[in-house]
Amino acid sequence: MATVMVVEDDPAFLKRFCGIIASDPDLELFAAVSDCASARQALASAAPDVLLTDLGLPDGSGIEIIREASRRFAATDIVVITVFGDENHVLAAIEAGATGYILKDSIPEQFVGLIKELRAGGSPISPVIARQLLKRFKAASGQESARPTEDAGLSARESEVLSLIAKGFSFGEIARVLGVSKHTVTTHVKKIYQKLAVHSRGEAVYEAGKMGLI
Amino acid sequence: MRPARWVSSSAGFVFLLAVASWAAAAPPVLAIDTALFLRSESAEPPPDSAPWRAQALPDNWKKSRPKAFGYGWYRLTFELSAKPEAPYAIYTPWMRTIGAVYVNGTEIGRTGAFGTPQLSPYPQVFVVPPNLLRAGENTLHVRLFVGDAWRGALAPLTVGEDTAVRPLYDKRYFVQITGAQLSSALSAALGIFMLMVWFRRRTESLYAYFGVGALGWAAMNALYLVRDPILNRDCLEFLLAACNGTSTVCLSLFALRYAGLRWPRIEKALWAWAAVQVALVFVESDAPWMMVLEKFLDYSRLALIAAWLMLLAHASRKRPGLERALVLIAVAFFGGTIIRDMIAGELLGELDSTYQPYRAIPMCIAIGWALVDRFVHSLNESERLNAELERRVAEKHAELELNYGRMNELERQRAVAAERQRIMSDMHDGVGGHLISTLSLVEQGDLTAAEVAAALRECLDDLRLTIDSLEPTEDDLLPVLGNLRYRLDERLKRQGVELDWRITEVPKLANMTPRNVLHVLRILQEAFTNVLKHAKASNVEVETGVDAAGEHVYIRVRDDGCGFAGDRAGHGFANMRRRAQVVGGALAIHSSPAGTTVSLSLPLQPIPHSGDGRAYSRDTAKAA
């Protein structure tokens, strides 16, 4: 049983998400709110297993909620809700600490499947995002080659996974190519997300700039 | 600054004054300027009974007995109150050409070997042993030898204690000999320096003329000072005439150049004049024309000197203040001392000018200064030009940067406009078209809710593809394909279509601009749409590779569906072909009841006039 909290200012979608959660026996609604203030209130004393949040909220940016939640609740999986899954929104959210994203028009099976994948330690990713991540880490390792921090760079296997994803291969196909399980591939992706978030924590100012876009 | 220079340039004269005051402080001496003269070949002083005639000193033979040469005797007397204790000395500024001095009948010294005349400007001093002198009247005899055509002369004699007379001699020696030597050396050094300047700047003959002139002048002065000439008289005179002529002509030409003038005929005439002067040395004639010619040469030399001095003075008016002052002083000094010497020679019978050796010094200073001034001026000028050049370069640089900025801005605006155009036409063909057809179907009420949802999802997918195409791809096709798959995966899965993804690394493609990427995406999307909507396939294979010729990359979409007959979906295929053409590629479609294969091949090398996208703009304009 996983508790899920939804932050979404569009009442129709909020209702839709709540309905999906209610209809799955493995999920339990933690809270359903439509702005930052309510979200903070809901998160004041306890944490959900999964936090779903939109970015454009009436009283602020979902990025702030993501950042706060990721700092306070290491065990919570944070998922950003996006219309297009475009890299500007998704990367900003990942840098703030999200480990997944979901398209707003996802059908219930996708929605539930994603939450279960996250709980199992995996993360979703698109080829465009994979490509952007590869670029980010390449630039970062170029800049910080003198600093021996492990999380600044990707391992060889992680790079391989990212570049295969960028070429459109599915997790299953990648698992076959690398001779590992599909689950291992998705946990690689989650680790990569976490590395980006750790790496980006030092660039909070850069984040603030990004928020102008959101 | 200016007074300091005046002081330094007149230091020589101050020094001469100092020498004069030092002489005045010595004990009294006896100057004898009257004598008796007798022409006699006798080797001993002739007796007092001989026919002596009174003769004032200085006695210049050229005036008192023109054209005479040979031996002559002078008899002078002076009174001493007592027989002197200290050594006495006799001094005379000139004794030419060879002389011997006798005191009370005993010879005390001679200036050289009789019979070999010298051109000697040297002052003479003779020491008188005290025992030769007596109280009362003492007699001096001077035997003088004048060589043929040499200038013979005797100056007044000064008698006195050696300590009193010696300074007079020293002073005369310093002014007449040492000073002249220094002056010659200075002039020669400047001449050589000027020639070196000319050597590096051949176009400025000015420096060459002054250099040769100064060297000639220095050589002439040095020749006068030769004590025992190893050359015979003809040789010496030839050299003197050559130096003098060359020097005069060169200084005249220098003056012309200094004034910025070139008079080729007159310049030739000047050289001819110098040649005549030199040639005349070898002519031994007393003919009247010879006398006339000599006179003419003498006066013309004076006229020439006057002319170039005036020219210099005139030309200096265009020059800076200090240079002008120096040139005017030099001209005045040069001309003034010549006039003074002529007057002194005529009226006082003076043989050697005190000023002659120094005549050129102010000129050397003035011309040296002029040279320095030019040099500094051209240095300053070149620095100024450099600065000007730098300024202009900086100006141009700024201008270029500005233009570059403008061009950048224009380019940016153009790129933005092109991108807007691309997105607009894509919206028009893609999501816009979908929405309109969905809307009309909904309005007709022909659709179920599920069908509307599917149609709208298609719109969303379309929009997402447009958004994905905004990402820079850097000529890499694979992320484009990967993303297409990612976007289509869900629909394929829902329809139960298995996808065989056979993507391999392919070389980077030419012309992969965002616009062309979108065309490729739309072609493949259309192919998939056909598979999903019409083919009823269960397997789709996507494969990439390079063709056998290595010139094209192909992307093949093959399904195992029912295929199609005739021109079903003809409009869709026409659109795909058009897009393929725009990106410079080719589209091949094979369909059979066993399946359909759509193969897009894209060039690796840029193909001119086909992939720049403008053709597409026109096409879409027409299509619109």
DSSP B448-477: -HHHHHHHHHHHHHHHHHHHHTTS--TT-H
* Strand extents, DSSP E, A24-141: 27-33, 50-54, 56-57, 60-61, 77-82, 100-103
Of B463, B468, B503, the CB nearest to A167: B503
| CA distance linking residue B115 with residue B124, whole number of Å | 19
Cβ <8 Å between B481 and A168: yes
| CA distance linking residue B540 with residue A209, whole number of Å | 44
In the beta sheet, which residues pair with residue B100?
B110, B143
Task: Tell whether the torsion through CA atoms of B576, B577, B578 and B582 is positive or negative.
Answer: positive
Please give the pLDDT value at position B526: 85
Please give the pLDDT value at position B571: 61
Of B464, B482, B490, the CB nearest to A168: B482
What tokens does B378 get? 């051209």
Cβ <8 Å between B483 and A128: yes
Chain B interface, mutation test: which of A131, A136, A163, most B Cβ atoms within 10 Å?
A131
Cβ <8 Å between A168 and B486: yes
Cβ <8 Å between B485 and A105: no
Number of H helices, E strands in chain B: 17, 18
Q: Considering only alpha carbons, which residue of chain B is nearest residue A131?
A: B479
Please give the pLDDT value at position B195: 93
* Chain A residues lying within 8 Å of B501, measured CB to CB: 168-170, 173
What tokens does B276 get? 């005549």
Closest CA–CA distance from residue B579 to any residue of chain A (Å): 23
* Chain B residues lying within 8 Å of A127, measured CB to CB: 479, 482-483, 485-486
| CA distance linking residue B155 with residue B61, whole number of Å | 11
The maximal CA–CA distance of chain A, rounded, in angstroms, is: 52
In the beta sheet, which residues pair with residue B554?
B545, B601
* Chain B residues lying within 8 Å of A130, measured CB to CB: 482
Please give the pLDDT value at position B77: 93
Cβ <8 Å between B479 and A127: yes
**ω into B203 cis (within 30 of 0):** no
Helix H or strand E encompassing B583 = none
Chain B interface, mutation test: which of A110, A134, A167, most B Cβ atoms within 10 Å?
A167
Helix H or strand E encompassing A46 = none
CB-CB neighbours of A133 under 10 Å: 26
Please give the pLDDT value at position B8: 45
| CA distance linking residue A112 with residue B449, whole number of Å | 23
Task: Collect the ranges in chain B with pLDDT lower than 50.
Answer: 1-9, 26, 609-624
- Interchain contact B501–A (C-beta under 8 A): yes
Of B464, B483, B490, the CB nearest to A127: B483
* Chain B residues lying within 8 Å of A105, measured CB to CB: 457, 460
CB-CB neighbours of A196 under 10 Å: 24
In the three-class reduction of DSSP (H, G, I as helix; E, B as strand; rest coil), residue B513 is classed as coil
pLDDT at A207 over 60: no
Please give the pLDDT value at position A151: 41
* Chain B residues lying within 8 Å of A167, measured CB to CB: 478-479, 481-482, 503
Q: For B609, left (φ over 0), alpha (ψ -120 to 50), or beta? A: left
CB B281 within 8 A of CB B234: yes
What tokens does B77 get? 């007397």
- Interchain contact B5–A (C-beta under 8 A): no
| CA distance linking residue B342 with residue B353, whole number of Å | 9
**ω into B58 cis (within 30 of 0):** yes
In the beta sheet, which residues pair with residue B558?
B541, B597
- Interchain contact A40–B (C-beta under 8 A): no
Cβ <8 Å between A169 and B501: yes
Cβ <8 Å between B467 and A84: yes
- Interchain contact B482–A (C-beta under 8 A): yes
Chain B interface, mutation test: which of A84, A104, A128, most B Cβ atoms within 10 Å?
A128
In the three-class reduction of DSSP (H, G, I as helix; E, B as strand; rest coil), residue B98 is classed as strand
Closest CA–CA distance from residue B468 to any residue of chain A (Å): 7
* Chain A residues lying within 8 Å of B514, measured CB to CB: none
B382: Cβ–Cβ under 8 A, 6 or more apart, which residues? none
| CA distance linking residue B120 with residue B245, whole number of Å | 21
Q: What is the pTM of this model?
A: 0.52
Cβ <8 Å between B479 and A126: no
- Interchain contact B453–A (C-beta under 8 A): no
Cβ <8 Å between A169 and B503: yes
Q: Rounded mean pLDDT of A133-141?
A: 75
Closest CA–CA distance from residue B505 to any residue of chain A (Å): 9
* Chain B residues lying within 8 Å of A166, measured CB to CB: 478-479, 482
Q: Considering only alpha carbons, which residue of chain A is nearest residue B453?
A: A105
Of B463, B482, B490, the CB nearest to A166: B482
Q: Considering only alpha carbons, which residue of chain A is nearest residue B477?
A: A167
* Strand extents, DSSP E, A55-210: 56-57, 60-61, 77-82, 100-103
Query: Measured between alpha carbons, how far is residue B420 from residues A213, B413, B428, B515, B617 in Å?
Result: 19, 10, 12, 11, 12
Please give the pLDDT value at position B610: 43
Half-sphere exposure of A67 (CA within 13 A, CB side): 18
CB B152 within 8 A of CB B61: yes
Please give the pLDDT value at position B6: 46
Q: Return the closest-CA partner of residue A58 out of A14, A103, A111, A92.
A: A14
| CA distance linking residue A203 with residue A95, whole number of Å | 9
Please give the pLDDT value at position B36: 94
Please give the pLDDT value at position A65: 92
CB-CB neighbours of B76 under 10 Å: 22
| CA distance linking residue B369 with residue B375, whole number of Å | 10
- β-pairing, A56-57 vs A50-54, is unpaired
CB B206 within 8 A of CB B254: yes
Supply φ then ψ for residue A107, to 5 degrees. Answer: -80, 160
CB contacts < 8 A, A to B, total 52
CB B559 within 8 A of CB B495: no
CB B572 within 8 A of CB B433: no
CB B209 within 8 A of CB B245: no
Q: Return the closest-CA partner of residue B572 out of B514, B619, B522.
A: B522
| CA distance linking residue B366 with residue B320, whole number of Å | 12
Q: How far apart are the first and last CA of chain B?
A: 89
Cβ <8 Å between B486 and A110: no
- The label of the residue with tokens 């300024």 reads B391
Please give the pLDDT value at position B472: 66
| CA distance linking residue A120 with residue A99, whole number of Å | 12
Of B457, B479, B490, the CB nearest to A166: B479
Cβ <8 Å between B460 and A105: yes
- The label of the residue with tokens 């600065």 reads B387
In the three-class reduction of DSSP (H, G, I as helix; E, B as strand; rest coil), residue B239 is classed as helix
Query: Which DSSP string corresponds to B299-331?
Result: HHHHHHHHHHHHHHHHHGGGS-HHHHHHHHHHH
- Interchain contact B167–A (C-beta under 8 A): no
Cβ <8 Å between A167 and B479: yes
Q: Considering only alpha carbons, which residue of chain A is nearest residue B464?
A: A84
Least confident of A78-82, A146-150, B37-41, B149-153: A146-150
Dihedral (Cα; B323, B329, B333, B334), 10-degree rounding: 30
Please give the pLDDT value at position B619: 39
Of A85, A166, A170, the CB nearest to B464: A85
Q: Considering only alpha carbons, which residue of chain B is nearest residue A171?
A: B486
Task: Give me the percent of chain A exceeding a pLDDT of 70.
Answer: 86
* Chain A residues lying within 8 Å of B498, measured CB to CB: none
Q: Considering only alpha carbons, which residue of chain B is nearest residue A88?
A: B471
Please give the pLDDT value at position B22: 52
CB B96 within 8 A of CB B152: yes
- β-pairing, A50-54 vs A77-82, is parallel
Q: Rounded mean pLDDT of A154-176?
A: 87
Q: Return the closest-CA partner of residue B162 out of B129, B136, B131.
A: B129
Closest CA–CA distance from residue A160 to any residue of chain B (Å): 14
What tokens does B348 get? 């006082």
DSSP-assigned letter for residue A77: E
CB B19 within 8 A of CB B174: yes
| CA distance linking residue B600 with residue B481, whole number of Å | 13
CB A40 within 8 A of CB A60: no
Least confident of A101-115, A144-158, B127-141, B321-335: A144-158
Q: Rounded mean pLDDT of A51-63?
A: 89
| CA distance linking residue A167 with residue B542, whole number of Å | 12
- The label of the residue with tokens 């001096």 reads B140
Please give the pLDDT value at position B394: 95
Closest CA–CA distance from residue A168 to any residue of chain B (Å): 3
DSSP-assigned letter for residue B129: -
- β-pairing, B153-154 vs B59-60, is antiparallel
b/e sequence B360-388, b meaning 16+ C-beta within 10 Å: bbbbbbbbbbbbeebeeeeeeeeeeeeee
